[in-house]
Amino acid sequence: EQEVAEYRKSLGIRVSGFDVPRPIKTFEDCGFPVELLKAIAKQAYEKPTAIQCQALPIVLSGRDIIGIAKTGSGKTASFVLPMIVHIMDQPELAKEEGPIGVICAPTRELAHQIYLEAKKFAKAYGIRVSAVYGGMSKLDQFKELKAGCEIVVATPGRLIDMIKMKALNMLRATYLVLDEADRMFDLGFEPQIRSIVGQIRPDRQTLLFSATMPRKVEKLAREILSDPVRVTVGEVG
Ligand code: ADP
Ligand code: MG
């Protein structure tokens, strides 16, 4: 424990919460299935970044998390890799429809980046990823979603449009990620986020990532996360 505490301190990492899983040092420590390890190796990710070392075991244990770290620190893989494991752990996938993993991001560019990252790791397992954001034809998106997917990466406004059009439902969604929560609030998406969260079963796993934690984001986190572990990497304003 002392060793973990000193290691975290040396890297500017702060962690709070009850019964926090120990950080990992390598991707192999995560117990990932072999195809996933191969896909990681293909990305030339030699070792996990600081946020990944802390967040991966927490998220893999099924806990809710608040991850605060600056841009470029590798937050995407911290939620995408455990999401693949989460989806593979679901029994009888075919019985319901609609995504299991739902990721909200503030802009179409970010949603697209996450979509690409998710696809890299989902491919080997036949997990379907859909991207949903403005600027794309609503009809095309509707058709794609109707065909089914396990992961949807979306901007909040367009996701609500698609839910209203009954392109998808949230019945089997159990893994919700709010990425760049501070920016989503800056862009005025709080009502949309609350509406989306309200449609996903309360026993879901919820992950919130942000570069900063303004009071409004803090309040949302208190309302929608259960017993979260908070991981902060570096100096965060
Ligand atoms: P953030 O969401 O924190 O801004 P990203 O997840 O977008 O950061 O990652 C930033 C860059 O680092 C991306 O190009 C990503 O592919 C790369 N990356 C992520 N994890 C690792 C790793 N473990 N080793 C090397 N590069 C990584
Ligand atoms: Mg990011």
Please check whether residue 64 is in contact with residue 207, taking contact to mean a CB–CB distance below 8 angstroms: yes
Residue 199 neighbours by CB distance under 10 Å: 14
Residues 42-98 have pLDDT tens digits of: 998 989 999 999 999 999 999 999 999 988 999 999 999 999 999 998 866 555 689
Tokens of 182: 């501070």
Q: Find the helix or strand (DSSP H, E) in which 10 lies.
A: helix 2-10
Rounded-to-integer distance, Cα 181 and Cα 190, Å: 9
Rounded-to-integer distance, Cα 27 and Cα 143, Å: 36
Residues 189-198 have pLDDT tens digits of: 999 999 999 9
Q: Give distance in angstroms: CA of 206 to centre of ligand 1.
A: 21
Nearest to 78 by CA among 199, 175, 189: 175
Query: What is residue 96's predicted lDDT score, i.e. its pLDDT?
Result: 65
Q: Which fold has domain 2-233?
A: Rossmann fold (3.40.50)
Rounded-to-integer distance, Cα 161 and Cα 138, Å: 9
Ligand with an atom nearest the CA of residue 68 = 1
Residues 149-170 have pLDDT tens digits of: 999 999 999 999 999 999 999 9
Rounded-to-integer distance, Cα 40 and Cα 44, Å: 7
Residues 96-138 have pLDDT tens digits of: 689 999 999 999 999 999 999 999 999 989 999 999 999 989 9
Please tell me if the CB atom of residue 72 comes closer than 6 angstroms to any atom of ligand 1.
yes
Per-domain boundaries in the chain: 2-233
Q: What pTM value is reported for the model?
A: 0.95
What is the ipTM metric for this complex? 0.98
